[in-house]
Amino acid sequence: MYEEKINAYFDAPERRAELVEAISRLVRIRSVREEPLPGMPFGPGPAAALAEGLKLAEELGFATRNYDNYVGTADLNDKETALHILCHLDVVGEGTGWTVTEPYVPKEVDGMLYGRGTDDDKGPVAAVLLAMKAVKELGVPLRRNARLLMGTDEESGSSDIAYYYAREPYAPYAFSPDAEFPLINIEKGSYKPVFTKSWPAETATPRVTEFRGGFRINVLPPEAECLVAGLSADAARPYCDRAAAETGVRYELREEGDSLHILCRGKGAHASLPEEGVNAITGLLHLLCSLPLAKVGSTAALRALSALFPHGDCAGKALGIAQSDELSGALTLAFSLLTVTGTGLEGQFDSRVPICANDENCRTAAEASFSKFGFSVSGEMDAPHHTPADSPLVKALLKCYEQYTDYKGECLAIGGGTYVHDIPGGVAFGCCMPGFNGNMHGADEHTCIADQLTAAKIFTQAIIDLCG
């Protein structure tokens, strides 16, 4: 009924410019979580992005509310709320390797808009706001309200959404454009334990005295570095050349007095898709295992880690937890954080576990593997999320998707957790089209402007169908 009007509305040239400017306003704010400040539970960046998001919503004529800088909301009308649309304004750190533009300087190139957050998740915020505006300006009568939730802590655990739902009820329907089309109704569970090991102070050389790798649990580390006492660049270079050919990483050497600084460069990726990157931590461990290091506690610990997490093992085979099922797919694993000092280490991996995973075949199995090498482990498993494919929400959303694309609507299972992971009946819906890779969480993150406009059309129809 409204398809022709919706297409005409979003095909207007001014709508494209409006979308790009809205996304750009949000991208220019570095909304990475930092230490909390008074009234800013996740630091000044996320709070500033939320203020800008609420300002955008108010400029479009929506009633807004700020839930103590955890979550901001924008309401389409004052009727009973039937639909929650969950987006987030916080982003992961910028990392390294940007080539098209600076991370917080949005730039359009060949129909793509580059900048941190364009794909995850500031672009979708703008698309939803324009969809709500379209419903209002097209004069579509609604019986119920659609509410946009703009959160500020999705990348670090979603405590913002927990804060909101501790104060407000769930809506009958909920979806989050924090992923991809067609629709995600299964999100794997997770197991992200912390493991530690210590040893007495050491003096023998060559030995590793420092190691730092990774910057966020849900990002496959693009860089890792270490300091090796008692080793020269000339002595290490042949080992580096061989290890580089075996792993696909790059090693950069710099002598610092009697020590050698080694920087390992891999390729970052989202932790739920470790096969799309090159892990710098495991790449550096691979090299260290080949170096003629002294037979001390630190060397034994690093070699144990390389045995438990061999470079290229993204399934947890060596750790003894590899598994899969037909509905949700295979377990994935990313060794994402490691710090080593002169007397011990602490690390953490991020595994996304299928529906078939449980304490016995995952957590207990991993702990048993670690115990063989004298490591201590702590951490529990989080359950998967599953909304049945025949639910009314899933059927309605897939119909909207097929209405505005040439693709078939179907349900997907993913390893990444979205904003609806803990919301009963919720699903992830958009914004990326099938086959598009915006390099989320990596360098040169970008979104396709045309796809975002199509997503806005889909969201407009979804609001009408679910609230009309």
Structure confidence by residue, pLDDT tens digits, 157-197:
899 999 999 999 999 999 999 999 999 999 999 999 999 99
DSSP 128-181: HHHHHHHHHHTT---SSEEEEEEES-GGGT-HHHHHHHTTSPPPSEEEE-SEES
Per-residue 3-state assignment (H helix, E strand, C coil) for 230-280: CCCHHHHHHHHHHHHHHHCCEEEEEEECCEEEEEEECECEECCCHHHCECH
**What pLDDT, on the 0 to 100 scale, is given for residue 383?**
87
Distance of CA 403 to the CA centre of its chain: 29
8 Å CB contact between 370 and 308:
yes
Contact in structure between 170 and 419 (CB atoms under 8 Å): no
What dihedral angle (degrees, nearest 10) is formed by the CA atoms of 159, 161, 167, 170? -140
pTM for the whole structure: 0.74
Per domain, the residue ranges of the chain are 2-188+385-467, 190-382
- Domain covering 190-382 in this structure, CATH number: 3.30.70.360
pLDDT confidence of residue 418: 85
190-382 has the same fold as 2-188+385-467:
no
Q: At residue 222, what are phi and psi to the nearest 5 degrees? A: -80, -15
Give the tens place of pLDDT for each residue, 341-400: 999 999 999 999 999 999 999 999 999 999 999 999 999 999 899 999 999 999 999 999
Cα angle 383, 330, 288; round to 5: 100
Q: What homologous superfamily does CATH list for 2-188+385-467?
A: Zn peptidases (3.40.630.10)
User: In the structure encoding, which two tokens stand for residue 436, read together?
Assistant: 């598009």
Q: CA nearest 209: which of 236, 194, 227?
A: 227
- CB-count burial class (<10 Å; 0-12, 13-18, 19+) for 436: middle
For the chain, which residues score pLDDT lower than 50? none
